[in-house]
Structure 1
C-alpha cells in the first residue's frame, strides 16, 4: 500500500481503567481496502497475547472498530472491545495460560496496530500503531498492604477524605492474593480489601471504612466463605453479598474434596443452616456453561433454602447463557481451559472452566454493571447491620 498520506490509527481514550471502553479509528486508507486491526500485549510473565479483526475501509477510507463489522479474526461482528476480550496467547505459547494482572499499580500496555490485508500479519510491519494504557487504579486510589494479626491482604481506598462503604474481596480455592478486582472496586467508590483468606484469622477496622456499610464478594470457593461469613462469623454482619460461580458441598463427611485444608474456622458445610441464617441481600451470578461446578443448580438450592426460610426476596439471580466459571471484570479474556495451581503445593492441574468466548464476554460486561448497581444500592443506602473490615 503506497499513498501520499500514510494511514493514521487513533485510540480514544488512550489511557483508561480496564472496565472502560475505548474507540479505535483508522483513517487515510484507500476506499474498500482490506485491513487487519490487531492488539498485542506482553504479560508480566513475558507471554504474548493477541486479538485481531478483519475489516474493509468504507468509501471515506476509514475503519471504526466500534461501528464497523469485523469479517473474521478472533471475533466477528460489531464489537468495540473485541480487541481485548478475545485476546488469546499467540501461536506457540505455553499451554494453559491465564491472564491476570499482578502489579495493579502499573498499567497494561497494549499495542494496537493496523496491517494490510486479511492474512497472517505476525511478520508484517504495521501501517500504523498506537499504545494504550489500561489501568486498575484511578488517580488518587491508595494501595495499603496489610500483614498483621494473621491477615495478609491489600486494602484499596478510593480518592477523597472518606469514610467509604467497603467490600471484602475473596477469590477461589487456588489461594494467593489477587488484587485487580478490589482495585477496580476502589475506583468505583468502595474501600476494598483483597484478602488471602486461606491464611487469615481475623479482619480489622479501618478509619476510612464506614462500619455498617460493608459487603462481601466471592468467586468459586470464595462464595462458600462469603456465605459462611454472612451466616456464622460473629465479627462480620455484611450489608450485602455477591457470589459469582456458587459452590457448596453435600458430602456425608461435611468436607470439600480437592479444596485446601487450610480452611478458616468460620467456614461451615451445614448447607440449610448456613443459607437460612443469612439476612442480607445477595446477588448470585452464574454461567450456564460452567464446566467446573454445577453453579446454576447451586443457585437453585440457595433460592430454595431462602424460600423455605421466608427470605427469598433477599435473593437476586443472574444466569448467563453459555458463560463459563471465571466471570471476571469486563473485557477480560475468556479462558475455557487454564492451569490451576493447587493450594499449598507447586503442582498445576489443567482445569476446564467452560464458556463460549462471545457470550462469556457479554456476561462479564453485563454482570459488572449489575454488581456496581447492586453495591451502590445497598452500600450507599439506608443503615443496616454493622460490620468490621
Structure 2
C-alpha cells in the first residue's frame, strides 16, 4: 500500500479500566481497502496473546471497529471489544494457557495494529499502531495486605473518605489470591476483601468457620459499613458463600452472588435458612459442574421455605463455568492444579467464545446493579481514570 498520507490508527479512551469499552478507528486508507486489525499482549508469564478481525474500509477510507463488521478472524460481526474477548495464545504457544492478571497494580498494555490484507499478518510490518492501557485499579484505590486472626488476604479500598459497603470475594479450587475482581469492585465503590480458600480443610464445616472469621474481619473494618456487607463466590467459592449465609446465625450478609454454583447435599439441605437476596449466575454449557441443575435445586429449596422471591437467576446459553469480569478471554479448556495432589490436569470448563463473552459483559452489569440495589441507597460511586 503506497499513498501520500499514511494510515492513522487511534483508540479512545487510550487509558481505561478493564471493564470499560474503548473504540478503535483507522483513517487515511484507500476506499474499499482490505485490512486486518490485530491486538497483541504479552502476559506476565511472557506468553503472547492475540486477536484480530478482517475489515474493508468504507468510501471515506476509514474502519471503525465498534461500528463496522469483521468479515473473519478470531471474531466476526460488529464487535467493539472483540479485540480483547477473543484473544488466544499465538500459534506455537504452550498448551492450556489461561490469561489472568497477577499484579493488579500494573497496567495491561495492549498493542493495536492495522495491516494490509486479510492473510496471515504476523510477519508483516504494521501500517500503523497504537497502545491501549487497561487498568484494574483506578486512581485512589488502595491495595492492603492484611493478616488478622490467622487469616491472610488482600483488601481493596475505594477512593474517598468512606466508609463503604463491602464484599467478601471467594474464589474456586485453583488456589492463590486472584485479585482482579476485587480490585474492580473497589473501583466501583465497594470495599473488597479476598483470601485463599484452598488453605483450608477439605471438610465444609471447619472451612465455614474460617470464612466466618474473614467475614467478621471485613465487617469490623473502619472503612466498612458493618450492616452492608455481601459475599461473591465463583465455583467452590459459591459453596462457601452459601454455607456461610445458611449456617452461621451471627453472620447476616446483605446479599450474595454465586457464579458457577457447586453442589453439596450438606449445603442444599440448609439453603432455606438464607434470608438475604441472592443472585445465581450460570452458563448452560458448563462442563465442570451441573450448575444449572444446582441453581434449580437451590430455587426449589427456597420456594419450599417461602423465600423464592429472594432469588434472582441468570442462565446464559452456551456460556461455560468461568464467567469472569467483562472482555476477559474465554477458555474452554485450561491447565488446572488439583488441590491436595498438586497434579496438573487439563480442565474442561465449557462454553463457546462469543456467547461466553456476552455472558461476562451482561452478568457484570447485572452484578453491579444487584450490589447497588442491596448495598447502596444513593447512586453508585464510579471511579474513572
Same structural fold, with TM-score higher than 0.5 when normalized by the shorter chain: yes
| 1:343, distance to aligned residue in structure 2 (A) | 2.2
- State how far apart, in whole Å, the 1-side matches of 2:166 and 2:158 are: 10
Alignment size in residue pairs = 360
Change (3 A) 1:179 1:171: same
Could you report, residue by residue, the CA deviation over 1:316-351 in whole angstroms, capped at 9, with x for unpaired residues? Answer: 000000000000000000000001112244321100
Could you report, residue by residue, the CA deviation over 1:25-83 in whole angstroms, capped at 9, with x for unpaired residues? Answer: 00000000000000000000000000000000000000000000000000000000000
- State how far apart, in whole Å, the 2-side matches of 1:279 and 1:388 are: 34
The residue matched to 1:318 in structure 2 has which SS?
strand
CA contact (8 A) 1:169 1:218 kept: yes
| 1:235, distance to aligned residue in structure 2 (A) | 4.7
Structure 2: gaps spanning 5 or more residues: 190-209, 266-270
Change (3 A) 1:52 1:245: same
- State how far apart, in whole Å, the 2-side matches of 1:155 and 1:192 are: 16
Change (3 A) 1:333 1:192: farther
Structure 1: gaps spanning 5 or more residues: 199-203, 251-274
Could you report, residue by residue, the CA deviation over 1:105-160 in whole angstroms, capped at 9, with x for unpaired residues? Answer: 00100000000000001111000000111000000000001123211111000000
CA contact (8 A) 2:41 2:111 kept: yes
- Which segment drifts farther, 14-23 or 185-194? 185-194
- State how far apart, in whole Å, the 1-side matches of 2:334 and 2:380 are: 40
- State how far apart, in whole Å, the 2-side matches of 1:385 and 1:10 are: 29
Change (3 A) 1:194 1:362: farther
CA contact (8 A) 1:154 1:195 kept: no
| 1:197, distance to aligned residue in structure 2 (A) | 12
CA contact (8 A) 1:151 1:196 kept: no
* Alignment correspondent of 1:249: 264
* Alignment correspondent of 2:150: 150
- Which segment drifts farther, 240-249 or 73-82? 240-249
- Which segment drifts farther, 58-67 or 147-156? 147-156
CA contact (8 A) 1:157 1:192 kept: no
Could you report, residue by residue, the CA deviation over 1:327-385 in whole angstroms, capped at 9, with x for unpaired residues? Answer: 00000000000011122443211000000000000000000000000000000149999
- State how far apart, in whole Å, the 2-side matches of 1:23 and 1:283 are: 31
The residue matched to 1:384 in structure 2 has which SS?
coil
CA contact (8 A) 2:187 2:383 kept: no
RMSD of Structure 2 on Structure 1 (CA) = 4.2
CA contact (8 A) 2:12 2:23 kept: yes
- Higher normalized helix content (fraction of residues): 2
Using the size of structure 1 for normalisation, the TM-score is 0.88
1:222 to 209, 231, 237: 237
The residue matched to 2:212 in structure 1 has which SS?
strand
